[in-house]
Amino acid sequence: MNHKIKSIISESISVKSNLLGDEELLARVSEIVDKMVTALRSGNRIYFCGNGGSAADAQHLAAEFSGRFYIDRDALPAEALHCNTSYLTAVANDYSYDVVYARLIKGLGNKGDFLLGLSTSGNSTNIMKAFEVAREKGIITVGFTGDSGGQMKALSDYLLNVPSKNTPRIQESHILLGHIICELVEEKYFANHK
């Protein structure tokens, strides 16, 4: 049992070590932070979406922005799109689960907002459809995916593709990257905060 536990931890460390060595991905994270701070200062919002465990991660990250991360500060305008279960189930039932996020982004999103979609495969239809609407509206898209980026690669303004094919290891790294973005946005946005 201990060998298996150590193997899982070692794999997680290896994935994060590969992230650490990916200078292009790190540069994308830095650019996302800069553009997100500019967007927030312009009155824009940050939206998150995902499915299953990735929906939980999306909600977690939205809460870090709208609640607080390290600094006791004002809320930032961020929300996870799947939290209104009446909306979600009505649209899934009356239309299709494939359009639950696209319809919300069409109604709520504005040019200059951010939409962060979390999908370990990069092939979640409902996220891809939301990214298509986002592109039409001038909303900046950030795809959190696994190694290949899947079909979301072509739809993402910024792709954060974790170098792994193992779902739990990808999800762990999505949270890591999301926390880094939140910490740096908070630090930069509230630079003069005491």
Q: Which domains does the chain have, with CATH numbers?
A: 2-189 (3.40.50.10490)
Per-residue confidence (pLDDT) for residue 193, from 0 to 100: 61
Residues of the chain with pLDDT under 50: none
Per-residue confidence (pLDDT) for residue 192, from 0 to 100: 75
Helix, strand, or coil (residue 96):
coil
CB atoms under 10 Å from CB of 52, counted, come to: 13
Query: How many Å from the N-terminal Cα to the C-terminal Cα in the chain?
Result: 48
Look up residue 160 and give its amino acid.
Answer: L
- 119: its two tokens: 């999908």
Look up residue 115 and give its amino acid.
Answer: L
Helix, strand, coil percentages, rounded to 5, for the chain: 60, 10, 30
- Spatial CA neighbour of 129 closest among 115, 112, 113: 115
Phi-psi group of 186: left, alpha or beta (phi > 0 → left; psi -120 to 50 → alpha; rest → beta) = alpha
Q: Using alpha carbons, list the distances in angstroms from residue 127 to 65, 74, 138, 187.
A: 21, 29, 16, 29
Phi-psi group of 112: left, alpha or beta (phi > 0 → left; psi -120 to 50 → alpha; rest → beta) = left
* pLDDT tens track for 108-143: 999 999 999 999 999 999 999 999 999 999 999 999
Helix, strand, or coil (residue 156):
coil
**Sign of the torsion angle spanned by Cα atoms 162, 168, 173, 174:** positive
